[in-house]
Structure 1
């Protein structure tokens, strides 16, 4: 029999500090086979991710009018207000029925069915009002002759069709408004399609178009109402975490006719993505995917030549999202793993526990690993390795030392102090171990496929992942000094919410004191490429001219998390959560605590939207200064920039939203001096931000929601088009230069108009700069067709000026 003193190697191979026991029992030594190697046969890669093919393969133009029309309408339908409403609807429903949905016991399948029925009933009144509103809207449209249905007239009619007076919550009203806007854009697209003679839209013309000049909108209305009903059912599944992660490219949701029309030029959309490097793993279903799938189905309705095809498209959309129970299985597995680990005795092997619960915990992170190794071999290898790493922490002796430290840190989350015997030390230690194991497994999805082909590489990667995870969930006093996230903080991360096994995020036990200077606030970027300074000014109503002394609460994303779910559990507004990027951590937390945000993040992670979180992503919340609440402007929107590029029309539109506080500052500057220079300096960051949007998209190879592009073929995967990769930097720099001249000129010549708009009852002012006949767009068109000019370096090919139109609108009026 051996003692702990004889097992120096156990601690040498783990991130834990060897405890000093006063007495030791004699555990049985575990024999672990280490000679097994991974099979040397070549592996077949078959992953579900979309790929980015070479320029020559994916850049060719598609000439089919139907496909070009689909590309245009799919891009125009995007509406981030509607997208926000989908997540807000889910949050609203969960909050309304929180007590009924809080059950932890009983048959899981029956509980899921009951919950889904409850939320479907919750949305029934909204569905009824949605159908009525669409009926009113289309009844108005059907009274118009086609020639009179201009974009301006359609927009006016949409704004007049408001939901009937009823006690709808803000999220429901936002959803209805967004759906009506989409319906208006569909009718606008239908007018263009019919006028252009697009074959797929011929059914919209009806038999008597030449005689009476009216569109036949009945089939479009019928199909759109059905899509709306199905969308609400998808929102229910999204709210309950029962939507499976998307595993097929969007192009596979096209009708057979349009699928064939895309042809070989869209291979980058139709084939699976071969992962060649580390990638972030999404925490769950991106709500933007719900909108994109709805938009694609709606656009195809407009192009369906026969009503029967429209009905088929609607049914296919309704059946496209089956239920997925993997998140529920993960919840059960993590709770059972913690319970089983708690029951293990000192020296007892944890491998059987690992092998029992790891299969459910692989969701959905290890698709590549399973493809390469196979599930049984992967589970066996990881279980054996992790069970050896956690061995020193198993049993009552380790728990007796760890429990009080974890309890002390954890109770500080609730503003309490640890009391002797207040918590079971073995339960606390088992929970920390289970959290460490889960995070280690989550890292598997980030590994490149080559890692799984070599046992040494895989073992090294898993050990590193385990060390990072242990440093997260165990107190510093029990972690080797070189592995600690911080050296002067005594907090730990605790999985939350604390009163349920349905863990969706982790929270750091201590709020970290910070001093946010104006320079730092300007430099730190948050979601939507906004600055922290925007947040302090627009939402917290905090003066940004002086340093702000406050505290940050820190959070970490677990599977199934959304900003809404975290905020709901924490009692805060989801708009007040920010990404704790390495840059933000270094600027805000200082050298002693910056390690809390310096996580290794593979290329491709994004902060462009709060709706697309990835596993292990860290977030922060700025606590309001002493004596203030964080509800100064709870519904306020941050200043925002958007870019819209229409290759088909040779147009670029830049939209700048000046928040209410920013608009007031600009108005004050315009009033007190004859020069617009100071006012322009306040707007200039938004112009620069538009340029930064394009540059950041090039880095992550994915278009953020604030960039929309219309080409000859639909970009269903929202990858960066090859032509933009080639000339995006030059084009964005030139667009920013043109916009700067136009905005400065507008502020100089239209000061009184801007002041009137900023004094209106609407919050903020929107500036739109439309550029037509853009110089160099012939070059862009050639590149998009795969014809690369000899010289596209610099901006000489962009010499000249477009035709400009600058419009100022009261309120938030981004397209």
Structure 2
């Protein structure tokens, strides 16, 4: 079949010419296709030959890729860090257009390498009879074609790998549809065109990464995604935060699915959803920054004993615009009354902090405990301005706490008045120096010496991106405490510290504390200007500080904030790590003992699960760090000639990698892929899967432990043990077959 004008393979990939789907057998009355002028629209043809309902949804679900989500999170955080660091090179704060241009230059090598990788993938498929070769040979070809090393681009291999895995699924899906007899799909979108369209999605995705890093991803993405999901028959998306890495991956997955199952979607939606565009979401964050600076200046200028009602009334709407009152079903007029009511109470509580006298009482401890501790010159900031900043932080903190309350609180004046007073006291205990508070105030955050929370980075004023606690805690970390603290890679603080070189306990360490404000990304924490550049951190080092963790690490539980740990370490089986939530606190551990972890040698996910119902396959991957792998090798090959290999300890170590986390992940995936109705219905199948996994690992160690030892001995960092279950269907989950177990050197993502 001749290529359509403008859609030639040469226009998409240089020198590429992939085979078109096999044409239907010609009849004696066949008319050349070019001579036909069909009266039927393309939409009718697509719907007439559409696959059965649910097939697109199943394909979309199988695009879930935890490693790809992790790579998007890394890109967003690296972009956020780059933007903040780049500001230091400007004599004044850059305009948004300049900041975006700088980020586009920074991310260009990633885009170029991604396009090169997809070009290479398509080129290696060129000339192959994709529709006629046996299934096993076809899979081997796809696996070989999608395996390549990035040229001169280190640190983003998982992003490139995720794109190639999406390409493999796209090609496999297209070939599968043709073999099922849905020939119209193959004619409208042959494989070479599909891969060209996929390549065209790369730069729009990276534009969204930049917008997410700049907190400028528009709300309009969600309605568009909903329209596309509805067209594909896909249920409402799982990600609650469309600007998170999981949300970005979902939107990308919908686009990829539409290439195969709804090629006319771009035209019908009436939106240029598949191309880069300038995002024009209301910049509520910039408005808050301006309002915060103006509010601080106005507080500093007020006479002694003033009641700042008008100032607070003008400031609160900017806070509410960033953290909207979504739960409140009240009118605009009603909201204005709520704002005035809250402002009146806050103003009366804050009036004792206004003026020269209170300013001196506040400014000196703020400078002593904060700015001077961090090495900043305090003479450049007037006392009243430093004091006003602390008061403004208190008002903002109280307002943000109120926005987390249920709707019923705002419908009852007495409840609301009590809540405002409680929120103000809690905020004052956090953002004002201890010496101006009652010694017996129960809301005080520390029993011993305390610090203050300072807006950072100071050089970015007024574009602050986080707060840092001025007291750095020097603490011994026991092994028992480290083992009890969960880590975002699915392991524990103990495992993280051991992988970083800790060999003796307790570890003498310093703990830095951070607080998220509107606009915070994990990458922003890495630009802590109070630390030497040599002590620079990776965004994965910052972990949620709950009251339990603060009690274990610091013996000051009130410094923590309630909140479920996000991502792989949390109780929810989300695919990715949640962005920093406003008001939540995070910690980072520093010690001279800790070895810097190179990006390519850092595990972001120790357990990976891939469920593919279309292939009736489930894969469970256990990823071991190099330290863990060497420990297993020592058990398998003891140095003493009289010692015997310790297989029970090896099996116990492997089971320890998944027993705490895997049941929840399996239950979530079975429900998500409609293999179980709900968590209760998934309980028995999950139990059967876990028993089969344990039995297969035991058999593998008994019969093929030498393969594990050989993989550990290879130069690649760490090893991956993969258990592959076959014939995974809803009907057969009650009688699960033992999985095949294999081992590979390095941290291997699943194949196709």
- TM-score interval, normalised by the smaller of the two chains: 0.7 to 0.9
Q: Give the 3-state SS of the residue equivalent to 1:569 in structure 2.
A: coil
The equivalent residue for 1:809 is 744
CA distance in 1, matches of 2:278, 2:315: 30
Change (3 A) 1:129 1:636: closer
Pair 1:298 & 2:283 matched: no
The equivalent residue for 2:635 is 669
Pair 1:616 & 2:616 matched: no
Change (3 A) 1:502 1:362: same
CA distance in 1, matches of 2:670, 2:212: 25
**TM-score, normalising length: structure 2:** 0.81
Change (3 A) 1:88 1:694: closer
The equivalent residue for 2:11 is none
CA distance in 2, matches of 1:638, 1:667: 23
Q: Of 336, 339, 364, which aligns to 2:294?
A: 336
Residues 659 and 763, structure 1, Cα contact 8 Å, conserved in 2 = yes
Pair 1:190 & 2:174 matched: yes
CA distance in 1, matches of 2:88, 2:328: 34
Q: Give the 3-state SS of the residue equivalent to 2:519 in structure 1.
A: coil
Pair 1:407 & 2:395 matched: no
Residues 71 and 710, structure 1, Cα contact 8 Å, conserved in 2 = no
The equivalent residue for 1:47 is none
The equivalent residue for 1:56 is none
Pair 1:553 & 2:512 matched: yes
Residues 513 and 552, structure 1, Cα contact 8 Å, conserved in 2 = yes
Write the deviation string for residues 27-72 of structure 1: whole angstroms up to 9, x where unpaired: xxxxxxxxxxxxxxxxxxxxxxxxxxxxxxxxxxxxx945533233
Q: Of 96, 106, 113, which aligns to 2:97?
A: 113
CA distance in 2, matches of 1:399, 1:471: 17
Aligned-residue offset at 1:461? 2.2
Q: Of 342, 352, 355, which aligns to 2:313?
A: 355
Change (3 A) 1:314 1:223: farther
Aligned-residue offset at 1:382? 2.2
The equivalent residue for 2:200 is 226
Point out the more displaced range, 245-254 or 737-746: 245-254
CA distance in 2, matches of 1:650, 1:154: 19
Q: Map of 1:196-235 to 2, 5 A cutoff?
A: 196-197=180-181, 199=182, 202-206=183-187, 216-235=190-209
CA distance in 2, matches of 1:765, 1:639: 13
Q: Map of 1:38-117 to 2, 5 A cutoff?
A: 65=51, 67-93=53-79, 101-102=87-88, 111-117=95-101
Runs of 5+ unmatched residues, structure 1:
1-63, 208-214, 274-280, 713-720, 781-797
Q: Give the 3-state SS of the residue equivalent to 2:392 in structure 1.
A: helix
The equivalent residue for 2:343 is 383
Q: Give the 3-state SS of the residue equivalent to 1:340 in structure 2.
A: helix
The equivalent residue for 1:345 is 303
CA distance in 2, matches of 1:320, 1:300: 23
Pair 1:475 & 2:440 matched: no
Q: Of 702, 711, 717, which aligns to 1:748?
A: 702
Residues 71 and 158, structure 2, Cα contact 8 Å, conserved in 1 = yes
The equivalent residue for 1:778 is 731
Residues 494 and 506, structure 1, Cα contact 8 Å, conserved in 2 = yes
Change (3 A) 1:474 1:307: closer
Aligned-residue offset at 1:726? 2.1
Change (3 A) 1:465 1:604: farther
Residues 367 and 445, structure 1, Cα contact 8 Å, conserved in 2 = yes
Q: Map of 1:360-759 to 2, 5 A cutoff?
A: 360-368=318-326, 371-374=329-332, 375-411=335-371, 413-414=373-374, 424-480=382-438, 481-499=441-459, 500-538=461-499, 540-543=500-503, 546-569=505-528, 571-590=536-555, 593-597=556-560, 599-601=561-563, 607=570, 609-624=576-591, 627-633=592-598, 635-637=601-603, 640-646=606-612, 651-672=617-638, 673-691=644-662, 693-694=664-665, 711=673, 723-759=677-713
Aligned-residue offset at 1:432? 1.0
Aligned-residue offset at 1:578? 1.4
Change (3 A) 1:366 1:175: same
CA distance in 2, matches of 1:257, 1:97: 37
CA distance in 2, matches of 1:428, 1:437: 15
Q: Map of 1:295-334 to 2, 5 A cutoff?
A: 295-304=253-262, 309=267, 315=273, 318=276, 322-334=280-292
Change (3 A) 1:424 1:314: closer
Aligned-residue offset at 1:154? 0.8
CA distance in 1, matches of 2:483, 2:450: 30
Point out the more displaced range, 459-468 or 407-416: 407-416
Residues 412 and 510, structure 1, Cα contact 8 Å, conserved in 2 = no
Residues 216 and 279, structure 2, Cα contact 8 Å, conserved in 1 = no
CA distance in 2, matches of 1:772, 1:188: 18
Write the deviation string for residues 116-138 of structure 1: whole angstroms up to 9, x where unpaired: 23433444454444334323322
Residues 475 and 553, structure 2, Cα contact 8 Å, conserved in 1 = yes
Structure number with greater CO (CA < 8 Å, separation at least 6) is: 1
Residues 765 and 811, structure 1, Cα contact 8 Å, conserved in 2 = yes
Residues 495 and 504, structure 1, Cα contact 8 Å, conserved in 2 = yes
Aligned-residue offset at 1:514? 2.5
Change (3 A) 1:65 1:617: farther
Q: Map of 1:19-34 to 2, 5 A cutoff?
A: none
Residues 73 and 186, structure 1, Cα contact 8 Å, conserved in 2 = no
Aligned-residue offset at 1:521? 1.5
Residues 366 and 444, structure 1, Cα contact 8 Å, conserved in 2 = no
Residues 671 and 682, structure 2, Cα contact 8 Å, conserved in 1 = no
Residues 243 and 324, structure 1, Cα contact 8 Å, conserved in 2 = no
**TM-score, normalising length: structure 1:** 0.75
Q: Of 145, 158, 161, which aligns to 1:157?
A: 145
Residues 640 and 656, structure 1, Cα contact 8 Å, conserved in 2 = yes
Residues 663 and 765, structure 1, Cα contact 8 Å, conserved in 2 = yes
The equivalent residue for 1:791 is none
Change (3 A) 1:187 1:247: closer
Aligned length: 675
The equivalent residue for 1:61 is none
Residues 688 and 736, structure 2, Cα contact 8 Å, conserved in 1 = no
Change (3 A) 1:192 1:464: farther
Change (3 A) 1:467 1:235: same
Aligned-residue offset at 1:688? 0.9
Q: State the superposition RMSD in angstroms.
A: 3.5
CA distance in 2, matches of 1:463, 1:726: 43
Aligned-residue offset at 1:532? 0.7
Runs of 5+ unmatched residues, structure 2:
1-49, 530-535, 639-643
Residues 365 and 444, structure 1, Cα contact 8 Å, conserved in 2 = no
Change (3 A) 1:505 1:97: closer
Residues 119 and 236, structure 1, Cα contact 8 Å, conserved in 2 = yes
